[in-house]
């Protein structure tokens, strides 16, 4: 299936290169001129951070919540290709999670910001934009472009249904699927005759064996609270095996009748605190950053790391071994398989005050098309696009992730409840790792923070 | 019998000789500035900038502190509710305690280190004095982000220099997960801050010490004063005034500390390094509780003002007693 936006690669590259040069040159002159004239508004306008109605058309600003440098690179390249084909000046601004959510909220609320954003769909983010009508309803575009036929229906409806019921406007649309779970080093596993576990006792036995061999079983970091890829994912993944998905969903959506102080949370906290006591986590875990943990895994110092599949390309590029992946085995085998972290992880949105909503829609149509999906696949991502025939996996890691997604339900990012709960989520867990609170106390503290969040 | 040496004696002699030398050097300066609008016109540009970028935002923050507001929705007046909440918020008081501890250490450590280095660089004959001054001052001019990252590396338990040095000198038992320890994280970040703060203290003390006439020390030596006595009775009286400036600057800097903490630990682990400015940031930009965050900011500003007033009073008292 083609999406009707495929420029010849030579033409696109040349035009895009010219476009970037011309854009940078003109923007530089405009900013310099405006600065000389002393007008902040002119500077804001020249840099593209301006009201839609005041803007000239022929530009497309994209803010992109990125997972890795590799992802930033190919999304920027794809956008340049699109801009080159349509004689548009495009710019992609990559953001990390926290700065993106902060900047986008401020920009959209003042009717400014990017034309298109790829951002978080959680209650504190997309739901806020949607309720304030800062982003447009995409349903007419879904019908017009046939995106519903192109993408997996369950993925398309996921966040819309969560937000506001069945007839909610669809304000975000994904182009890939993600999951958070266990990456492992197959060389270390092979050396000790180990296999990816499929039951929880097997997982516990695997951790014990690795520890007995002098290998750090789980390489994670807890420094710089709130850092993605942190030790908090260890707790999150186990919680998805001890607490029902429906309760987690209610907690995520701030249901005042739901409680964190429940036996499932205590059970998960007990399990991971025991892991900490047995030394299954990195030594000095609270002093290690997420990038320290990545480095330890890539260097073969730790056998496994829990992180998101947005790291696929980074892990594949950074190792001599080819990492592999498995979902957390179930504790209660009567329940379905669930992976922590949600999918779609991020969604595309169109600013209600975009310079040109027609251009923004056309760009989204391109990003949801086969050409982009193929690029995502070739970079070991899992696109939401339904290929007529699934391409051959580019790596064993991609095959593992694809298989895991096929048999599991998507879960939640526990920290994303918002408010005090979010800012105190990691500090509370820090106490669990440092053994200064009991699992029962952790559950009570979570509930107390949750209540504060609900009370605003 | 010769008059016994003291700084007061020399000062009296100088005053006497100045009085004998003639009238005030700049007669009429005061009267020329005494009237008209000209002085105010000169002040106007600075005041406009000060008003626009300091006073106005300050007033807005005070206004926001009486509101319940997420930064984009409708504002709701809640009176003193944010301040009442603040009074009972254990995290606020924890952050406040950390700031106070930081301020006490921030007053003493950079002041003592800066003074010691200044004495060394001014009073001790040595080659390459200018070079050492530049080297010791260097941390002061580094961007705080750079300082934070460098010290994060130094403290890293896996590849950090500090633990490697401790192992190297046979003190491996003192290795720590510095930034991951609820006990050591705050002192560890403080050391990084003090490393950047002593440079300014040193420069101020050097300027003060260079203005001390050598004849005081010679007179003290003739009177048989030991090095310690010279330090106590000659040198310290001359650095008393600059010391109050140094203490004030370091106290205010300590209360305002944000970037180092934000970059290295973001208040963790388990809020062990949470300081008021980071707590303000969390409330305003992460929780989007602009009203409560502003109340925190007002409390922080009041603490800074209070500290300044106390130190200025102490300075006034010290000057009067001198």
The DSSP-derived string for A375-438 is HHHHTT-EESB--SSPPPPSSHHHHHHHHHHHH-EE---GGGG-HHHHHHHHHHHHHHHTT-S-
Q: Among B68, B158, B265, whose Cβ lies nearest the Cβ of A224?
A: B265
Pairing assessment for the beta strands A302-308 and A216-218 based on DSSP bridges: parallel
Enter the pTM of the model: 0.82
Pairing assessment for the beta strands A176-177 and A180-184 based on DSSP bridges: unpaired
B180/A422 CB distance under 8 A: no
A105/B282 CB distance under 8 A: no
pLDDT tens, A12-69? 333 333 333 333 333 333 333 333 333 333 333 333 333 333 333 589 999 999 988 8
Tell me, yes or no, if B271 comes closer than 8 A to chain A by beta carbon.
Answer: yes
B269/A283 CB distance under 8 A: no
* Inter-CA distances, A92 with A16, A48, A60, A116, B305, Å: 13, 11, 9, 10, 44
On the question of pLDDT at B14 being above 90, the answer is no
Tell me, yes or no, if B174 comes closer than 8 A to chain A by beta carbon.
Answer: no
Best of B287, B290, B291, B293 to disrupt the A interface (most A CBs within 10 Å) is B287
A434/B267 CB distance under 8 A: no
* Inter-CA distances, B299 with A229, B102, B251, Å: 35, 17, 16
Measure in Å the smallest separation between the Cα of B83 and chain A Cα atoms.
15
Q: Is the peptide bond before B269 cis (omega within 30 degrees of 0)?
A: yes
Give me the sign of the Cα torsion angle B256, B262, B266, B268: negative
Structure tokens at B52: 């626009």
- How many Cα atoms sit within 13 Å of A185 on the Cβ side? 26
- Measured between beta carbons, the chain A residues lying within 8 angstroms of B71 are 105-106, 109
CA gap A280, B132 in Å, rounded? 48
CA gap A382, A378 in Å, rounded? 9
Measure in Å the smallest separation between the Cα of B156 and chain A Cα atoms.
7
pLDDT tens, A81-133? 999 999 999 999 999 888 898 899 989 999 999 999 999 988 888 888 988 99
CA gap B86, A272 in Å, rounded? 34
Best of B157, B181, B184, B289 to disrupt the A interface (most A CBs within 10 Å) is B157
pLDDT classification of B9: cutoffs 50, 70, 90: low
B289/A296 CB distance under 8 A: no
- Measured between beta carbons, the chain A residues lying within 8 angstroms of B179 are 223, 286-287
The DSSP-derived string for B130-195 is HHHHHHHHHHHHS-HHHHHHHHHHHH-TTT-HHHHHHHHTT-GGG---GGG-TTTHHHHHHHHHHH
Tell me, yes or no, if B178 comes closer than 8 A to chain A by beta carbon.
Answer: yes
Nearest alpha-carbon partner for A61 in A274, A351, A275, A258: A351
pLDDT tens, B152-186? 999 998 789 999 999 999 998 899 999 999 999 99
Burial B111-139 (b: 16+ CB within 10 A, else e): bebbbebbbebbeeeeeeeeeebeebbeb
Tell me, yes or no, if B157 comes closer than 8 A to chain A by beta carbon.
Answer: yes
Residue carrying the six token digits 């300044």: B308
B286/A423 CB distance under 8 A: yes
The per-residue pLDDT for A167 is: 67
CA gap B230, B228 in Å, rounded? 5
pLDDT tens, B194-234? 999 999 999 999 999 988 888 888 898 898 888 888 888 88
Tell me, yes or no, if B168 comes closer than 8 A to chain A by beta carbon.
Answer: no
Would you list which residues of chain A are within 8 Å, Cβ to Cβ, of chain B? 98, 102, 105-106, 109, 124, 132, 222-226, 283-289, 292, 296, 418-420, 422-423, 426-428, 430-431, 434, 436, 456
Comparing A2-16, A323-337, B101-115, the range with the smallest average pLDDT is: A2-16
The per-residue pLDDT for B35 is: 66
A287/B270 CB distance under 8 A: no
CA gap B141, B133 in Å, rounded? 13
- Measured between beta carbons, the chain A residues lying within 8 angstroms of B268 are 222-225, 286, 426-427, 430
CA gap A436, B270 in Å, rounded? 10
Tell me, yes or no, if B72 comes closer than 8 A to chain A by beta carbon.
Answer: yes
B180/A286 CB distance under 8 A: yes
Tell me, yes or no, if B177 comes closer than 8 A to chain A by beta carbon.
Answer: yes
Nearest alpha-carbon partner for A329 in A271, A378, A398: A271
10 Å Cβ neighbour count for B318?
13
Q: What is the mean pLDDT of chain B?
A: 87
Structure tokens at B108: 């003493």
On the question of pLDDT at A283 being above 70, the answer is yes
ipTM of the complex: 0.79
pLDDT classification of A256: cutoffs 50, 70, 90: very high
Chain centroid to Cα A95, Å, comes to 12
Mean pLDDT, residues B300-313: 88
CA gap A157, B265 in Å, rounded? 38
pLDDT classification of B10: cutoffs 50, 70, 90: low
> Nearest residue on chain A to B182, judged by CA atoms?
A434
> Nearest residue on chain A to B148, judged by CA atoms?
A224
A111, A34 Cβ separation under 8 angstroms: no
Structure tokens at A431: 């106490």
Nearest alpha-carbon partner for A122 in A309, A344, A306, A367: A344
* Inter-CA distances, B92 with A432, B79, B85, B98, B259, Å: 22, 19, 10, 10, 18
The per-residue pLDDT for B12 is: 55
A105/B182 CB distance under 8 A: no
- How many Cα atoms sit within 13 Å of A433 on the Cβ side? 32
Tell me, yes or no, if B268 comes closer than 8 A to chain A by beta carbon.
Answer: yes
A426, A225 Cβ separation under 8 angstroms: yes
**Helical segments of A260-325, H only:** 263-277, 290-298, 312-318
On the question of pLDDT at A196 being above 60, the answer is yes
CA gap A37, A246 in Å, rounded? 58
Measure in Å the smallest separation between the Cα of A30 and chain B Cα atoms.
25
pLDDT classification of A73: cutoffs 50, 70, 90: very high
Question: Quick one: chain A helix, strand, coil %, rounded to 5?
Answer: 55, 10, 35
Q: How many CB pairs under 8 A join A and B?
A: 90
H or E, element range at A183: strand A180-184
What is chain B's Cα-based Rg?
A: 25
Tell me, yes or no, if B54 comes closer than 8 A to chain A by beta carbon.
Answer: no
Measure in Å the smallest separation between the Cα of A4 and chain B Cα atoms.
39
Mean pLDDT, residues A211-217: 96
Measure in Å the smallest separation between the Cα of A109 and chain B Cα atoms.
6
Tell me, yes or no, if B175 comes closer than 8 A to chain A by beta carbon.
Answer: no
A63, A113 Cβ separation under 8 angstroms: yes
pLDDT tens, A391-419? 999 999 999 999 999 999 989 999 888 88
Backbone phi, then psi, for B218, in 5-degree steps? -65, -45
The per-residue pLDDT for B11 is: 55
CA distance between the termini of chain B: 27
Across A33-47, B24-38, B235-249, the highest mean pLDDT is recorded for B235-249
pLDDT tens, A218-250? 999 988 755 555 789 999 999 999 999 999 999
A306, A339 Cβ separation under 8 angstroms: no
Tell me, yes or no, if B286 comes closer than 8 A to chain A by beta carbon.
Answer: yes
A98/B286 CB distance under 8 A: yes
The per-residue pLDDT for B260 is: 94
Question: Is residue A402 exposed (0-12), middle (13-18) or buried (19+ Cβ within 10 Å)?
Answer: middle
Nearest alpha-carbon partner for B217 in B133, B127, B128, B124: B124
Residue A350 pairs in a beta bridge with A116
- Measured between beta carbons, the chain B residues lying within 8 angstroms of A456 are 68, 289
Pairing assessment for the beta strands A180-184 and A324-326 based on DSSP bridges: antiparallel
On the question of pLDDT at B279 being above 50, the answer is yes
């Amino acid at each position: 299936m083609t999406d009707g936006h495929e420029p010849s690669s030579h033409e696109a590259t040349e035009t895009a290169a010219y476009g970037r040069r011309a854009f940078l040159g003109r923007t530089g002159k405009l900013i310099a001129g405006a600065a000389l004239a002393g007008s902040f508004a002119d500077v804001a306008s020249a840099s593209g951070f301006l009201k839609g109605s005041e803007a000239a058309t022929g530009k497309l600003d994209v803010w992109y919540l990125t997972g890795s440098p590799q992802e930033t690179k190919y999304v920027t390249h794809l956008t340049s290709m699109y801009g080159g084909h349509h004689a548009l000046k495009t710019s992609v601004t990559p953001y990390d999670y926290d700065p993106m959510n902060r900047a986008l909220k401020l920009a959209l609320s003042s009717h400014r910001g990017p034309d298109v954003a790829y951002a978080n769909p959680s209650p504190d983010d997309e739901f806020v934009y949607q309720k304030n009508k800062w982003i447009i309803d995409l349903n007419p575009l879904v019908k017009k472009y046939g995106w519903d036929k192109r993408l997996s229906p369950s993925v398309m409806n996921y966040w819309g249904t969560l937000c506001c019921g069945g007839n909610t406007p669809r304000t975000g649309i994904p182009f890939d699927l993600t999951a958070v779970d266990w990456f492992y080093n197959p060389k270390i596993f092979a050396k000790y005759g180990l296999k990816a576990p499929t039951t929880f006792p097997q997982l516990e036995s695997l951790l014990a064996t690795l520890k007995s061999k002098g290998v750090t079983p789980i390489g994670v970091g807890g420094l710089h609270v709130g850092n993605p890829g942190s030790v908090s994912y260890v707790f999150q993944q186990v919680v998805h095996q001890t607490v029902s998905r429906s309760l987690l969903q209610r907690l995520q959506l701030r249901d005042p009748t739901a409680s964190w102080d429940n036996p499932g949370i205590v059970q998960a906290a007990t399990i991971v605190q025991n892991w900490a006591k047995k030394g299954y986590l990195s030594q000095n875990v609270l002093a290690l950053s997420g990038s320290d943990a990545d480095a330890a895994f890539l260097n073969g110092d730790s056998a496994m790391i829990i992180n998101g599949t947005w790291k696929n390309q980074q892990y594949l590029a950074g190792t001599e071994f080819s990492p592999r992946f498995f979902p957390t085995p179930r504790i209660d085998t009567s329940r379905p398989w669930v992976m922590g972290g949600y999918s779609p992880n991020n969604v595309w949105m169109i600013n209600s005050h975009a310079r040109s909503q027609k251009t923004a829609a056309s760009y989204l149509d391109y990003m949801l098309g086969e050409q982009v999906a193929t690029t995502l696949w070739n970079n070991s991502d899992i696109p939401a696009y339904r290929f007529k025939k699934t391409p051959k996996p580019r790596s064993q890691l991609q095959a593992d992730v694809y298989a895991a997604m096929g048999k599991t339900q998507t879960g939640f990012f526990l920290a994303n409840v918002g408010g005090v709960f979010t800012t105190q989520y990691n500090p509370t867990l820090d106490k669990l790792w440092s053994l200064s609170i009991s699992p029962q106390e952790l559950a009570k503290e979570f509930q107390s923070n949750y209540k504060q969040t609900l009370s605003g | 019998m010769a008059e016994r040496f003291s700084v007061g004696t020399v000062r009296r002699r100088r005053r006497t000789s100045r009085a004998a030398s003639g009238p005030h050097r700049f007669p009429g300066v005061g009267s020329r500035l005494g009237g008209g609008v000209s002085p105010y016109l000169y002040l106007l540009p600075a005041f406009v900038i000060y008003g626009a970028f300091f006073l106005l935002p300050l007033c807005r923050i005070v206004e926001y502190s009486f509101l319940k507001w997420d930064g984009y929705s409708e504002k709701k007046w809640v009176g003193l509710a944010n301040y009442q909440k603040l009074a009972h918020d254990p995290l606020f008081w924890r952050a406040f305690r950390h700031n106070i501890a930081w301020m006490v250490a921030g007053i003493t450590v950079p002041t003592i280190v800066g003074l010691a280095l200044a004495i060394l660089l001014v009073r001790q004959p040595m080659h390459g004095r200018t070079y050492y001054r530049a080297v010791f001052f260097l941390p002061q001019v580094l961007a705080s982000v750079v300082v934070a990252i460098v010290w994060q590396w130094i403290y890293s338990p896996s590849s950090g220099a500090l633990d490697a040095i401790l192992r190297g000198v046979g003190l491996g038992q003192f290795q720590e997960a510095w930034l991951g320890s609820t006990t050591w994280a705050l002192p560890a970040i403080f050391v990084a801050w003090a490393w950047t703060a002593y440079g300014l203290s040193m420069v101020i003390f050097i300027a003060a010490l260079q203005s001390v006439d050598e004849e005081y020390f010679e007179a003290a030596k003739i009177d048989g004063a030991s090095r310690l006595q010279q330090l106590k009775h000659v040198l310290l009286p001359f650095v008393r005034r600059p010391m109050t400036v140094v203490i004030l600057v370091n106290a205010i800097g300590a209360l305002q500390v944000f970037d180092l903490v934000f970059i290295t630990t973001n208040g963790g682990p388990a809020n062990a390094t949470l300081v008021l400015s980071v707590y303000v940031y969390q409330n305003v930009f992460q929780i989007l509780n602009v009203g409560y965050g502003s109340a925190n900011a007002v409390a922080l500003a009041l603490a800074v003002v209070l500290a300044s007033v106390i130190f200025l009073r102490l300075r006034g008292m010290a000057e009067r007693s001198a």
